Structure 1
Amino acid sequence: MKLERTDPRSYTPLTEEERRRRAESTGGEPMLDFDVTNDSESTAYIGYHHVDVLLGLQHPRTGEPAELSFYITGQIQELLFKLLFTEVNRIRDLLFTDSLDEALRYLRRVERVQRVLTTTWEPVSTITPTEFAAFRDELGSASGIQSYMYRQLEFALGNKAPRMTEPYRPVGWAYEQVMAALRAPSLYDAALGVLQRRGLGVPAHCVERDFAEPYQPHAAVEQAWARVYQSPREHPDVYALAESLSDLNHLHAQWRYTHLLTVERILGHKPGTGGTSGVNWLRKVAEHRFFPELLAARTAI
């Protein structure tokens, strides 16, 4: 809906009643008093961040106030998934060139982003069962399992599962992106390449494989990580890499568990959207860990 343009220099704040009417008339879109698509009525900040576009992407479908918290949180998470996917691939490529110092620097950034991602569940956790029920039907078959950005992130971290590409097949462009992430080497594939080039006994078939297939743990890889932990002064940068990957694993698990607890608080044991079993399905997902031998080595040491 295009609003009547006014001169921003003569802007006066809207009254509470005017804000309510404006919100109702725009279906929840930003309450702008002038046309920000006109360059002369924008600012450098708006133009750089495309704030007008960003704030025009929220379209709640009901009058339930809590829906906006749910809506915006989902969009924020998608943006953070994109950031994490980009940074994880950057780190992977740095590991392939043995640029461990730089890779570790970017892993510190990933850690910060992951912590922010987990806190995004906080607004959603305040939604009561009654509030969620007021807009849940509008979701239809929509489910987080359909997030192609999140699926690409999981693949980039090494959780390769070809069957998980199926939800995207009806959407050609999304399916192509997800398939490309499935076929690409993961962060863990790159880390194993580092171990092999350091002469830590990683078999060739563990690094030269079909990256689209699920990774199969190997005892020699577990032993390689154990050697790194037992001799940290001999392999200080690889030791630091092992701990950074462990932090990544830990923080991703925290995000999954927080998701589980949030859904449990709102839905109880109702079935989830998108055909999942809800909390039971999320609990199974939350048990998954990346970098299997890195975790197993802790038991062996």
Structure 2
Amino acid sequence: MANNDYDPTAEGAETNFAARMSYSDYLRLETILSAQHPLSDAHDEMLFIVQHQASELWMRLAIHELGAARDAIARDAVAPAMKMLARVSRIFEQLNSAWDVLRTMTPSEYTHFRAKLGQSSGFQSRQYRLIEYVLGNRNPAMLKPHAHDAEATRLLERELTIPSLYDEVLRLGNRKGLAIPRSVLERDVRETHRLNDAVVEAWRCVYEAPETHWLLYELAEKLVDFEDYFRRWRFNHVTTVERIIGFKRGTGGTGGVSYLKRMLEVELFPELWRVRTVL
């Protein structure tokens, strides 16, 4: 018969934290768990707040990993970079699962507090914008929603001066013998990389002889894995918004579903998708 009176202190578990760091202290849970402040008495507003706050925390980790992966690739440390990219794919798997929770909220439930959001919108997430900039989708017009925030603007402007993750991958490919055009290697990194036929051809060399270019082949597949999860996240975002508000305009003034569907067309690593057609 199970003993329900088990005492963990009998095995040495610590229970006195008057002068020691506790689990709550380390994670600063008092700060995190006191950051939910619904503006209405609607039951479902807590779900809305927690889902978005949790997503921002996952994005915080994604930025940490993507930045480190980019730095590692720049110094030819490809193996640890691939581990980091694999982790980012799993982060976006978690972000995808978050939409499943939010979709339990019905349109009528959302209307009970939507007006309280004012003009606030996920469109204004500086972390999401930073992720897009790190990945190479560098639309300078997207700086405008952050103009009121000097720190966010500084952070995003700085990112635009640094080669994107894919830029560093293409530079690595050039160092490893791929024929990457100078126009691609020396382009203005503030601009979004556009599909280049010569880069498609370079990746075809990798995919046609993976045993010769195994490192680049494996790295390319890690990027495709990640973009696959990223596309699913965008698609789930679209379907969740359409399910909850239909085709209403977003609280931040975007077209809502129409804007999000346009984002589905964005390709982060275009040549890695096109190369599959020419193999």
1:237 Cα offset (Å): 1.1
| Structure 2 match to 1:126 | 104
| Structure 2 match to 1:295 | 273
| Structure 2 match to 1:200 | 178
Structure 1: distance between partners of 2:186 and 2:223? 21
Task: Calculate the TM-score normalised by the size of structure 2.
Answer: 0.91
Over the residues paired in the alignment, what is the CA RMSD in angstroms?
A: 1.4
Q: Which structure's relative contact order is higher, taking Cα pairs within 8 Å and 6+ residues apart? A: 2
| Structure 2 match to 1:273 | 251
Work out the percentage of aligned pairs sharing the same amino acid: 38
8 Å CA contact 1:152–1:182 kept in 2: the answer is no
Where in structure 2 are there 5+ consecutive unaligned residues? 1-16
Structure 2: distance between partners of 1:209 and 1:269? 39
Aligned with 1:274: secondary structure?
Answer: coil
Structure 2: distance between partners of 1:115 and 1:296? 24
Amino acid at match of 2:268: F
Ranges of 4+ aligned residues in structure 1 off by more than 2 Å? 39-43
Amino acid at match of 1:98: D
Structure 1: distance between partners of 2:252 and 2:88? 29
Select which of 57, 73, 76 maps to 1:79.
Answer: 57
The within-5 A match list for 1:178-257 is 178-257=156-235
The within-5 A match list for 1:60-75 is 60-75=38-53
| Structure 2 match to 1:157 | 135
1:182 Cα offset (Å): 2.1
Structure 1: distance between partners of 2:195 and 2:108? 45
1:176 Cα offset (Å): 0.8
1:88 equivalenced with 2:73 (yes/no): no
Structure 1: distance between partners of 2:133 and 2:114? 29
Task: Calculate the TM-score normalised by the size of structure 1.
Answer: 0.85
Q: Which moved more, 1:151-160 or 1:96-105?
A: 96-105
1:217 Cα offset (Å): 2.4
Select which of 94, 109, 117 maps to 1:116.
Answer: 94
Structure 1: distance between partners of 2:264 and 2:168? 24
Q: Which moved more, 1:42-51 or 1:252-261?
A: 42-51
1:154 Cα offset (Å): 0.5
1:274 Cα offset (Å): 0.6
Structure 2: distance between partners of 1:151 and 1:139? 20
Structure 1: distance between partners of 2:34 and 2:160? 32
Amino acid at match of 2:186: E
Amino acid at match of 2:53: Q
